Amino acid sequence: MAHPTTPASSEPLAYLNGEFVPHRDAKLPVWDLGIVQAVTVTEAIRTFRHAPFRLEQHLARLKGSLSGIGLAPSETLEQLRHLVARLIEHNSGLIDAAEDLAAVIFVTAGESLIHSGGLAAHPGRPSICIYTYPLGLRTAARLYTRGLSLVVPSVRHIPRSIIDPQIKYRSRLHWYLADREAQQVEPAAEALLLDLNGFVTETAKGNLFALIGGMVQTPYEDTTLGGISQQVVEEFLLQMGYDVEPANITPDELARADEVWVSSTTTCLTPVTRLNDAPIASGQPGPIWRQVIDRWSASVGMDIVAQAELAAGKGVVC
């Protein structure tokens, strides 16, 4: 695949099936299997100071997801690396220097010949799109200050016997239903799903950590997607003298934890201060969370929490 030329543009661009297009024109036909059957794998990467963070690890995980569902787009990992960098370079020039972006890659199984009524131009060829959007820094500032509320809904996590949790996919109906149920308990809450045995797994956005009796625990990878941010948090915790142990954690054990956090691409590490409409410990972000997020800030050369607070103070709508 030849590298497409980045067009001169005063608006955000996206990459779609071999060319750069204005973000608003990045559209798939209604007969694409990403729409018809939600056959889509994805990765999201954030920037710090407009540079992509841990891009290599995200691309490696994308490769595993593609292999897991049998898709092979024409773009190589090296080409994807180049395309992501090109988009970030262009689109970051359209935002404030103090803001940052999320860059999303997704790949679908391509156009369905049957659902197109024979109109599909390239049936069987995977569709691939890369786009960016400004990080939700106002939301992040609120979460860093007040913490996240989690609710355990009746919806259960999809077991490995149905879909391998190491495939990062975009079929999100169960998460939509779970979050809708959680928000009936607390309007700003997010769902934390249990596996079929009643142990906690993950949220739609990230991996769970619990500080219980001086030990940091996280759910097993046989029920959760291994996270890039999860790996970063574990690295910092090891530097701080904490071993991270995979564990089966019940909601009752989680409710009695000293601190609970969710790691994710966009907010890095979010303190969880409420579970099922009740406070966890003091109901405030804890000191170990603060030490970890401070180490993360030092590693990327910027204050992650201050960036969000600055955006919130300016009323940045992102």
pLDDT digits over 44-65, tens only? 999 999 999 999 999 999 999 9
- Do 115 and 181 reside in the same domain of the chain? no
Domain match, 70 and 168 both:
no
Q: Verify that 147 and 289 share a domain, yes or no.
A: yes
Last residue of a domain, one of 95, 113, 134: 134
pTM: 0.94
CATH number at residue 93: 3.30.470.10
- 254-301 confidence digits (pLDDT tens): 999 999 999 999 999 999 999 999 999 999 999 999 999 999 999 999
Residues 125-144 have a mean pLDDT of: 96
Other C-beta atoms closer than 10 Å to the C-beta of 242 total 18
What is the structure's pLDDT at 39?
97
Domain match, 171 and 201 both: yes
- As a whole number of angstroms, the distance between CA 77 and CA 81 comes to 6
pLDDT of res. 9: 76
**Quick one: 188 and 259 in the same domain?**
yes
Mean pLDDT over the full length of the chain = 95
pLDDT 10s digits, 135-161: 989 999 999 999 999 999 999 999 999
Residue 240's alpha-carbon distances to 229, 234, 290, in angstroms, are 17, 10, 12
171 in the same domain as 50: no
Q: How many residues does the chain have?
A: 318
Residue finishing a domain among 109, 134, 159: 134
In angstroms, rounded to a whole number, what is the distance separating the alpha carbons of residues 28 and 35?
8
pLDDT at residue 307, rounded to an integer: 97
Within 93-183, strands assigned E span 101-108, 127-134, 148-151
Whether residue 162 is found in the same domain as residue 272: yes
Amino acid 74 reads: S
What confidence score (pLDDT) does residue 317 get? 45
Residues 125 and 150 in one domain: no
Enumerate residues 6+ apart whose C-beta is below 8 A from 300.
48, 49, 53
> Which residues constitute the domain of residue 55?
13-134
The per-residue pLDDT for range 193-251, each reduced to its tens digit, is 999 999 999 999 999 999 999 999 999 999 999 999 999 999 999 999 999 999 999 99
User: What's the pLDDT score for residue 92?
Assistant: 97
Output the domain CATH number for residue 228: 3.20.10.10
Domain match, 156 and 277 both: yes
Let me know if residue 8 belongs to a domain: no
Q: Which residues, in sequence order, are bridge partners of residue 274?
A: 149, 279
**The pLDDT value given to residue 201:** 98
